[in-house]
């Protein structure tokens, strides 16, 4: 919890500093949707299972622009990691508060930031393939757990027009608790943002 308070204090300090340097506090906002994939891996120690593969998911973000180079807002995503080819999966629902910095280089707008948040991971693992519909399956595990997480990210927008940007982003979701069993790895996001 001390890490959480420290990050919130840092984000608040950066927002106040950016506001103090500018005449207007809020200089606009943006928001949009993104699809993602990547590669996640990790061991579920309780059952000794190695989860790995390419997740798929969707979500989005909305941000307020504070000053020329600083944004704050929120984001949320659903990410599914299918397993074993028999309907097994690990599903993340997560989101949080974000802060990032950006600059504009011609038609490109690189950015880097951090999200502080949390969510839940739901796991359904069947160690055997069902023989038919509604057939019981031995060795089936279901588990749901909440988590708090930090999510550092870097990305770049391509400015199609003033109000329309295409974006690509890479992140790495990190659980704050060592007891949280989250397969981890980089995810790549592709999407569009609308600016106002």
Burial 92-106 (b: 16+ CB within 10 A, else e): bbbbbebbbebeeee
| Full residue range of the structural domain in which residue 78 is found | 2-195
- Beta-carbon contacts of residue 36 (< 8 Å; ≥ 6 apart): 55, 56, 57, 58, 59, 77, 79, 187, 188, 189, 190
The tens digit of pLDDT for each residue in 60-119 reads: 999 999 988 999 999 999 999 999 989 999 999 999 999 999 999 999 999 999 999 999
CATH code for position 58 = 2.40.160.20
Report the number of distinct structural domains present in the chain.
1
């Amino acid at each position: 919890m001390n890490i959480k308070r420290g990050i919130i204090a840092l984000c608040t300090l950066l927002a106040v500093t950016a506001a103090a340097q500018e005449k207007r506090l809020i200089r606009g906002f943006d928001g949009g949707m993104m699809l993602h994939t990547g590669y996640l891996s990790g061991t579920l120690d309780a059952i000794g299972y190695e989860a790995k593969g390419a997740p798929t998911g969707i979500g989005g973000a909305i941000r307020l622009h504070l000053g020329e180079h600083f944004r704050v807002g929120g984001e949320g995503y659903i990410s599914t990691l299918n397993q074993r080819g028999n309907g097994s999966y690990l599903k993340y629902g997560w989101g949080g508060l974000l802060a990032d910095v950006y600059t504009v280089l011609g038609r490109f707008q690189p950015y880097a930031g951090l999200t502080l948040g949390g969510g839940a991971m739901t796991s359904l693992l069947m160690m055997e393939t069902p023989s038919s519909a509604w057939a019981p399956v031995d060795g089936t595990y279901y588990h749901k757990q909440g988590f708090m997480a930090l999510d550092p990210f870097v990305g770049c927008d391509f400015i199609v027009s003033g109000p329309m940007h295409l974006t690509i982003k890479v992140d790495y979701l990190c659980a704050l608790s060592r007891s949280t069993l989250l397969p981890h790895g980089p995810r790549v996001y592709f999407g569009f943002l609308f600016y106002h």
